[in-house]
Structure 1
């Protein structure tokens, strides 16, 4: 399958999965000391695994909730990125799906079910946003707008508070607790940069494709961090993060 065909499958699968959320009964359980998983996470990931592997026979899935396996075509699935927001009814979460071929990310899709916004891009397919709600053309600000959840509770990294203090002096900062949605917003020009630590491949795979295909840069930092976006602030963020994780 071409990257465009993989993207079409991911986008339709996300749209169909989102319909499950309208009738889902949401039960919540603890997942570690600082995280949660809901019955909706599990239902959406099961649906996506079935739909994606049926649409791309022989493919495999790396998912947040139900395990990981790899193949020539591998899907990275985060059924609800921002579960803690979702279970409280805060409209800051999304469904995130990416496709990799021979280890290279080639397609990404992020669906915001609260706003019915679909962010898509693939190798050879330009970044686009499909929205049924109010959209504003991003304006220019004298200070860059940065999306970050740093510092996270329970983080093993020393220096995150100092990084946040520096960021507050250099940029407008928003904390939304959904990495995939943050990257989609960066790709759409609503923010200039995003950075986090403590992330997993399913958190960033789709968003990395969106940012890159929209003309931005995505930099992996250490084993569990990234800095992404456009402009000087991205390189400065990357340097600061490298100082924390080194």
Structure 2
């Protein structure tokens, strides 16, 4: 399958999976000291696994809730990125799917089910946003807009509060608590950069494809951090995040 084919399968699977959320009964269970999992997360991931592996026979899936198997064609799935927002009814969460071939990400899509916005890109397929709601063409601001969830509760790192304080002196800051959605917004030009710690591959896989396809950069930092976006603020964030994780 070509990257375009993989993107089409990922996008259709995300759209179909979002239909489950309209009638889902949401039961919530704790997952660690600071995280949660809902019945909707599990139902969406099961659906995506079936849809993706049926559409691409022989492919394997790395998912947040149901484990990982890795092969030549691997899907990275986050059924609901931003579960803590989702279970409270806050419209700041998304479904995220990326395709990797032999370890290289070639396609990604992020679906915001609340706004019915689909962000897509693949090798040979430019970044695009399909939206049925109100959209505003991003304007230019004298200060960069940065999305970050730092500092995180229970973080093993020191210096996060200091980073946030320094960041507030040079940028406008928003806390989203959905890394994949934040990356999609950066790709769409709604923010200049996003940086987080404590992330997993399924949190960033699709968003990284989107940001790079839209002309931005994505940089891993340490084992569980990243910075992505455009402009000088990316280098500023990367330097400070590397100092924290080291």
Band of TM-score, shorter chain:
over 0.9
Name the counterpart of 1:4.
4
Cα deviations by residue, 1:114-148 (Å, 9 ceiling, x for unpaired): 00000000010000000000000000000000000
SS at match of 1:170: coil
Name the counterpart of 2:219.
219
Name the counterpart of 1:87.
87
Name the counterpart of 2:142.
142
Q: Work out the CA distance in 2 between the residues paired with 1:163 and 1:68.
A: 33
SS at match of 1:237: helix
1:80, CA displacement in angstroms?
0.1
SS at match of 1:202: helix
Gaps of 5+ in 2: none
Q: Work out the CA distance in 2 between the residues paired with 1:178 and 1:149.
A: 9
1:55, CA displacement in angstroms?
0.5
Name the counterpart of 2:119.
119
The answer to whether 1:174 aligns with 2:174 is yes
Pairs within 5 Å for 1:94-105: 94-105=94-105
1:61, CA displacement in angstroms?
0.3
1:182, CA displacement in angstroms?
0.1
1:181, CA displacement in angstroms?
0.1
Name the counterpart of 2:107.
107
Give the alignment's Cα RMSD to 1 decimal: 0.3
Name the counterpart of 1:129.
129
1:111, CA displacement in angstroms?
0.1
Cα deviations by residue, 1:42-66 (Å, 9 ceiling, x for unpaired): 0000000000000011100000000
Q: Runs of 4+ in structure 1 displaced over 2 angstroms?
A: none
Cα deviations by residue, 1:167-195 (Å, 9 ceiling, x for unpaired): 10010000010000000000000000000
Cα deviations by residue, 1:88-127 (Å, 9 ceiling, x for unpaired): 0000000000000000000000000000000000010000
Gaps of 5+ in 1: none
Q: Work out the CA distance in 1 between the residues paired with 2:30 and 2:226.
A: 26
The answer to whether 1:76 aligns with 2:87 is no
Q: Work out the CA distance in 2 between the residues paired with 1:59 and 1:233.
A: 38
SS at match of 1:49: helix
SS at match of 2:100: strand
Q: Work out the CA distance in 2 between the residues paired with 1:69 and 1:159.
A: 35
